[in-house]
Structure 1
Amino acid sequence: MTFPGAPTGPRDGSRLRVLAAMSGGVDSAVAAARAAEAGHDVTGVHLALSANPQSFRTGARGCCTIEDSRDARRAADVIGIPFYVWDLAERFREDVVEDFVSEYAAGRTPNPCLRCNEKIKFAALLDKALALGFDAVCTGHYATVVTHGDGRRELHRASDAAKDQSYVLGVLDDRQLAHAMFPLGDTLTTKDEIRAEAERRGLAVARKPDSHDICFIADGDTQGFLAKRLGTAEGAIVDEDGTRVGSHEGAYGFTIGQRKGLRIGTPAPDGKPRYVLDISPVDNTVTVGPAEALDVTGLTAIRPRWCGDVPPAGEAAYTAQLRAHGEDVPVRAEVVDGELRVRFAQPVRGVAPGQAVVLYDGTQVVGSATIATTERRERPAAAHA
């Protein structure tokens, strides 16, 4: 078994040509430095993902702005590696931004970071890297690739569960894993210690705050961003029996499980908070109800992608993660007619179509799929009469 984070390839066991994706943040800078320190031939690259980088959210983002590009360049200079900026703005717009907008328009809740990893960092970037003779793409993600003696590769959670980012990497397939390097994945250190390491290395990004939210929404206002692209259209907010209790300016501005910002004028009969239960873009209607109505017992997910070997046929026990910072929940799952069917051991809440479900076998990432439909737990008729 090779060391965690090391890809196999034509130079397996020797010095690798590594393309380090440098976002301008501290994690990717330290990852690039570690790869260079390990003796690999490292080149840094910053991805220009906007035709107008100033329109992307500025400040301490560690992602896609002009200042982030400059931070990445300074880090590469300190590490002593070549550095380039690659323009992938058009590909990013098509595969991530437009996908994000169309998913919300259809009443679903996408994860743009997961889509960026699938379509940009480990597809467009990796393809270009391989064409140029690189063996691996290195990123600052907290996850671990394990390669067995027979060549099998597995994606595992990071050694530090608190920093684990394997959920957003659950879309990677065997080919992509073969050329992925995550130097931070087996690090049992806190983020403060990563920052201290960056400081010792002389990297100016050592104290730069982490990125958050969505890089291509400049002001952090997702609803406003969507309204500019999809327009406004007044619609009804109804309770479970169809009674109108409020109005909205676009069903796309809501997500399953949402409680805040509903602007409901009529209180619930029991006085308890109401949550978004369903979004219907066809008639622009949002349905709300009590928290217990969110209980989901199962789901069907489409477009499954496997991180390594395809799981054996038939239902089996796994754990599942449903959001980037969500907890593991026990499930039984199987593939039926090309779709992933998942049954939860206990009902879970806040499950929305468009999200990714990622399956785990212990710490190993089995694969992921996009949630298409959910099954709600039946409640007594009186509970929502």
Structure 2
Amino acid sequence: MLISTRFAKIATLFSLSCLLSFNALAATTPTRLGPANLAVIVNEADPNSVEVGEYYLQARQIPPQNLIKVKLPTGKVKLSAWEFAGLRSSILPRLGPEIQAMVLIWTTPYAVECNSITSAMTLGYDAEQCKKTCDPGKPSPYFNSSVSRPYTDLGMRPTMLLPVESVEQAKALIDRGVFSSFRLLPSSAYLLTTSDQARNARVPMFPKPMQIAASQLSIQRIEADSIQDRKDVMFYFTGKISVPHLDTLAFRPGAIADHLTSSGGDLLGKAQMSSLRWLDAGATGSYGTVSEPCNYWQKFPAPSIVMKHYLEGETLIESYWKSVAWPAQGLFIGEPLAAPYASTQSALGP
């Protein structure tokens, strides 16, 4: 991962403005996305995709008309721009105006050239980014916004991928997302400054240590390469090629965790730790880039922003997407409707 420091001052100033909002979180939650607003896309050629898609509709009581079936070659990690154009054009005309977001129920494909498939589905394929992946990216209009209907207001549908390498693990992931709304438990956010300086680009975006009583959340900033034996993890943000001791941790339902590195979004790659390992360990959402991004903080989730929106009651897909300024290369994975800090009354209607 190459080092970029052009935006260090901007990151620090922006982080300060976000930190202030932690002390003034609203007692009531904003309107958020609900099951009626989510399209579920499955691959008919992949039995795991079909089975998990049907399970997800039932678990989240998603209207059956929100299920969209496509046919894709199985096992293909990356689509060409031409192949992706055909896929996207087969999906979008089938979505009604009530659909504000999408979830892709498969593991592969997860990339479109140098783009992630979740970003390409949301914003369209960005060919300019692929000319030089270490260049700055295009700003997302959704970044840190107060928008609750992204398609209605911005013409975009945030997309997340729900992996299905294992049907059992995919169903457990869905269950964690559903269970996240049942009971709020005392939890911690672990924000690590590691020995890997190039991958500490997000440290200026960390909120300060504090206790948020209303959310039963303890925010902890730690100087270490990893944590272990923690049983209350709701957030875990770090920067390393690989993160050890994940098997010693217990993640709360709805937990978000990721590591800033070059190719965490290359889910089946071997060069660096895959973001799938976070889900395997019990997290409900994670993120990684599918091509070399360099370490611009704008290409990764800003912890202060994702935490702010999540604590205000927004869903995982909303909070995570709103935290990435330049998302073209970033792959969002997990259960999109998890909302551990939301009341059941705050979901959008059709």
TM-score bracket, shorter-length normalisation: under 0.3
Compare CA radii of gyration and give the structure with the larger one.
1
> When the two structures are superposed, what TM-score results if normalisation uses the length of structure 1?
0.26
Between Structure 1 and Structure 2, which shows a larger proportion of strand residues?
A: 1
Normalised to the residue count of structure 2, the TM-score between the two structures is 0.28
